[in-house]
Structure formats: structure tokens, C-alpha cells
């Protein structure tokens, strides 16, 4: 934990699994407002868990791994902006093609798809390294 806190204090991006961690370490998000935090989440329409985080903490992002919900990407994009969503697949536990297919055919603009697929992560890493 000490190493983790040190990394967060120096603004290293944190990838935090809500699904595996049951949200036990979400308090870190409020304590360290600067580093980028990317969260995954479970598969059963758990927008009620991650949307409040996104609305309250501008440094929080979510990935799409296990975001299986029919129409979920479009709903999240309309409500929250595409720059807070990052492509994730859950690979190697899951196939990476499933979420590629879901993103490819999500009913959002091509620019938003591109940002989710790679642009957002490239921006976040550039910010972290600058």
C-alpha cells in the first residue's frame, strides 16, 4: 500500500478494479485528485456504481471490459462524454473481440469511438509523462 500511495502522490495513473476489489479502495480516488484513475466494473448494468464516481471525480475514467450492457456505451457516452471511457476487453480472461465488436457498432460518432479505442489512453499517458 505504501508503494501504491507513493505512486499516486507522484501522479502515476492507477488502474483500479472495482469488480475484483468490491470498491474497497475507492477512497483513494478522493484522497488523490491528481492522478488519472481507470476503473473497471462488473457486467450487470452497474452504471449506478461508476457513474457517480465519474460525475464527482474528474480524474476518474472507466474501461469497457465487462461493459456488456446492450446500449451501454451509447448511454454512457451521451451522459458522460467519450473522453472518460477507455477500451478494455478483459483479455486474456475474456476474448478481446467482443468489446471491439460492441464498440465498432455502438451508436456513437466515429470520433468518439476512436477516442475510446486509443485516443483517451494516449492523452492520459502523455499527461502523466509530461
Q: In the complex with another protein, which residue's Cβ is closer, 45 or 119?
A: 45
Tracing cell 500511495 back to the chain, one arrives at: 5
Peptide bond into 92 cis (omega under 30): yes
- The stretch near another protein (CB under 8 A) out of 2-10, 19-27, 60-68, 119-127 is 60-68
Size of the site for another protein (CB under 8 A): 31
Of 24, 56, 81, 104, which one interacts with another protein (CB under 8 A)? 104
Residue 112 bridge partners (DSSP):
none
Residue 75 binds another protein (CB under 8 A):
yes
Longest dimension (CA), the chain: 43
Q: How far is the CB of 36 from another protein (least distance, A)?
A: 25
Q: In the complex with another protein, which residue's Cβ is closer, 25 or 74?
A: 74
Residue 105 binds another protein (CB under 8 A):
yes
Cα dist. 31→36, 37, 59, 90 in Å? Answer: 12, 12, 12, 27
Residue 100 binds another protein (CB under 8 A):
yes
Residue 23 binds another protein (CB under 8 A):
no
Per the CB < 8 A criterion, the answer to whether 73 and 106 are in contact is yes
Task: Give kind and range of the element (H or E) at residue 2.
Answer: helix 2-9
Residue 117 binds another protein (CB under 8 A):
no
Shortest CA distance to 57 belongs to which of 8, 7, 126, 98? 8
Note the residues at the interface with another protein (CB under 8 A).
43-48, 66-75, 90-102, 104-105
Amino acid at each position: 500500500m505504501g508503494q501504491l500511495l507513493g505512486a499516486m502522490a507522484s501522479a502515476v495513473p492507477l488502474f483500479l478494479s472495482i469488480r475484483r476489489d468490491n470498491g474497497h479502495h475507492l477512497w483513494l480516488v478522493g484522497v488523490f485528485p491528481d492522478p488519472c484513475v481507470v476503473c473497471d466494473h462488473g457486467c450487470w448494468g452497474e452504471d449506478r456504481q461508476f457513474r457517480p464516481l465519474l460525475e464527482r471525480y474528474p480524474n476518474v475514467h472507466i474501461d469497457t471490459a465487462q461493459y456488456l450492457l446492450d446500449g451501454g456505451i451509447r448511454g454512457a457516452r451521451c451522459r458522460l462524454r467519450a473522453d472518460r471511457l477507455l477500451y478494455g476487453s478483459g483479455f486474456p480472461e475474456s476474448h478481446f473481440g467482443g468489446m471491439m465488436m460492441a464498440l465498432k457498432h455502438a451508436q456513437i460518432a466515429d470520433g468518439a469511438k476512436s477516442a475510446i479505442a486509443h485516443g483517451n489512453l494516449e492523452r492520459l499517458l502523455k499527461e502523466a509523462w509530461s
